[in-house]
Amino acid sequence: MTSPKGFSEVQSETFNWEEYLKESGGEPAPETCFKQASTPPENTFEPSQKIEAADPRNLTSTCVATVIGAVGPRLRLRLDGSDNSNDFWRLTDSGDIHPIGFSEKNGGLLQPPLGFRMNPSSWPSFMQKTLNGAVCAPSSCFKQEPLGPRRNEFKPSMKLEAVDRKNPMLICPATIGAINGDQVHVRFDGWKGAFDYWCKYDDRDIFPCGWCAKNGHPLQPPGQKGSGAVTKPGRGRLSDSSTQGLNPTSRNSTPSRQKSPSPAPTPTMCVYINHGCNCGPYLNQQRILQLPSQYGPGVINRVLYDILKGCMECAFTEKVVYNLIPEGHGRVVISASHGHKTYTKRVIGVETGDEFWGLLDRLFEDLGCCQNLFSTKPLNNGQQSADNRSNKSNKSNPKRRWSTESAESLRNTTHPKPVKVRRSYEAEASSTTVDPRAHRPANPADWSIDEEIDGKALLLLNSDMMMKYMGLKLGPVLKLCNLIDRLRQRAR
């Protein structure tokens, strides 16, 4: 096998799918299950070339990225203005990489990456220096993204090849462990569950058996531990020279995996959906009514996934709610579709009840929905009940939230904006306080200093102004821009 372009040789043992399937008794998933090209796409990218790519940690932003290297048809990319700890991988026929100039041609704007290491106001000058004299990848390097299957055709126990997301340079033999709607559970053969993940059935990180051999990409042999493993000796190792230029987490991946302890049992959770609660500006009340009466009892991460998926299914715009869900390194993986693209991210980890409700509190705060839309108890006769979550941090930090009581008060007024209430975690039940600005004119352009805001000035704000003159970070700016866009639509 020839060395992958831009890297030292990757050492791995010869792996034979035919022999392995005979030993394991597995069935390979048909190629029609995958969103992958039947003919391997040619990789003509070169290291140091510049391209445009979606920021994997903030998929609403398109950034300038540099090609660091390639393995088969896969590219290792680094966002300009970021460091190597955030490097990521994309296929040459990925739908979220483009030639330099693509965003400008399509009315978009290049953004600094999340965690930009300089002052946001320096972004224009940084971009000018970055692209001045840079070698840009020609448009011929970019391949058309393949069409995906129309529905999930996977079945449990099917075999496949999958990217190890904790060591994303590696692709390993795997098995479909379970199916849940359009989601599949990927289990790595011979390794404990700490490396498993859920993903959408048309995710670009999963491949049919034989894809690596067909595309000139190393395939790591299965491990020796875990249920259902075939005890083939060893797992592929990276030589010291092969780790040059790679993310440090790829080093010595074999020892760290073999010493990984089994994860501690997680608690079960049961969450009730109180359909009469106000669901805020982002969720559709009619769709909320179609949700089940409860999620669980079940494993905490299973229930969390069901809640997040339910919220996105009830969203007016799925990607908006997806962007509000806190990203991290937990076990729950969620996906959202926008246009012809599918976005996927891992949610922050939750292992305890406090962490579970802390994440939901943060999400529901951003969604502006009632504190009891999801709760540990069903509401009695539609009345708000005291919340018995043992979240000590919230007791000292009361949050503003839409309430069931405020929803009731809306029935007595023609104004469309919900009335906010402050929740006290030390009280048995929250009290309602009317927002004195609740009677603003319906058209945001007519808001004045009498409503404590200049509507015309608000509608003129853009991301550059907020970062440069208000000193705001990119995350809050994106949320504000989304809200201002909604107000502009009301003002038309």
CATH number for the domain that contains residue 198: 2.30.30.140
Q: Count of residues for the chain?
A: 492
Q: Are residues 314 and 368 in the same domain?
A: yes
Strands, DSSP E only, in 289-371?
Answer: 294-299, 333-338, 341-346
Residue 349: the pLDDT is 84
Q: Are residues 317 and 206 in the same domain?
A: no
Q: Are residues 116 and 154 in the same domain?
A: no
Domain assignment of residue 384, yes or no: yes
CA atoms lying within 13 Å on the CB side of residue 400:
10
Domain boundary among the residues 81, 115, 141 is at 141
Residue 184: the pLDDT is 94
Cα distances (Å, whole numbers) of residue 89 to 65, 74, 264, 406, 452 = 11, 7, 31, 47, 47
Domain containing residue 326: CATH number: 3.90.1150.190
| Full domain range(s) for residue 419 | 268-439
Residue 242: the pLDDT is 34
Q: Are residues 325 and 290 in the same domain?
A: yes
Domain assignment of residue 349, yes or no: yes
Q: Are residues 408 and 295 in the same domain?
A: yes
Domain assignment of residue 257, yes or no: no
- Between CA 384 and CA 377 the distance in angstroms is 10
Q: Are 75 and 92 in contact (CB under 8 A)?
A: yes
Q: Are residues 461 and 434 in the same domain?
A: no
Q: Are residues 134 and 153 in the same domain?
A: no
Which DSSP category does 335 fall into?
Answer: E
Cα distances (Å, whole numbers) of residue 122 to 18, 80, 112, 132, 436 = 55, 13, 10, 16, 39
Q: Are residues 307 and 420 in the same domain?
A: yes
List, for the chain, all residue ranges whose pLDDT scores fall below the cut of 50: 1-13, 225-249, 251-263, 381-437
User: What tokens appear for 160 in the block?
Assistant: 């496949």
Is the pTM higher than 0.85?
A: no
Domain assignment of residue 5, yes or no: no
Domain boundary among the residues 92, 117, 141 is at 141
Q: Are residues 278 and 233 in the same domain?
A: no
Domain containing residue 473: CATH number: 1.10.150.50
Residue 152: the pLDDT is 96
Q: Are residues 215 and 358 in the same domain?
A: no
Domain boundary among the residues 394, 414, 439 is at 439
Phi, psi (deg, nearest 5) at residue 362? -65, -45
- Between CA 70 and CA 65 the distance in angstroms is 14
Residue 433: the pLDDT is 40
User: What is the residue type of 154?
Assistant: F
Q: Which of 419, 388, 376 is nearest to 401 (CA)?
A: 419
Q: Are residues 154 and 292 in the same domain?
A: no
User: What tokens appear for 186 in the block?
Assistant: 């990927």
Q: How many domains does the chain have?
A: 4
Domain assignment of residue 7, yes or no: no
Largest CA distance in the chain: 77
Residue 250: the pLDDT is 52
Domain assignment of residue 413, yes or no: yes
Which DSSP category does 178 fall into?
Answer: E
Q: Are residues 178 and 278 in the same domain?
A: no
Averaged pLDDT of the chain = 76
Domain assignment of residue 263, yes or no: no
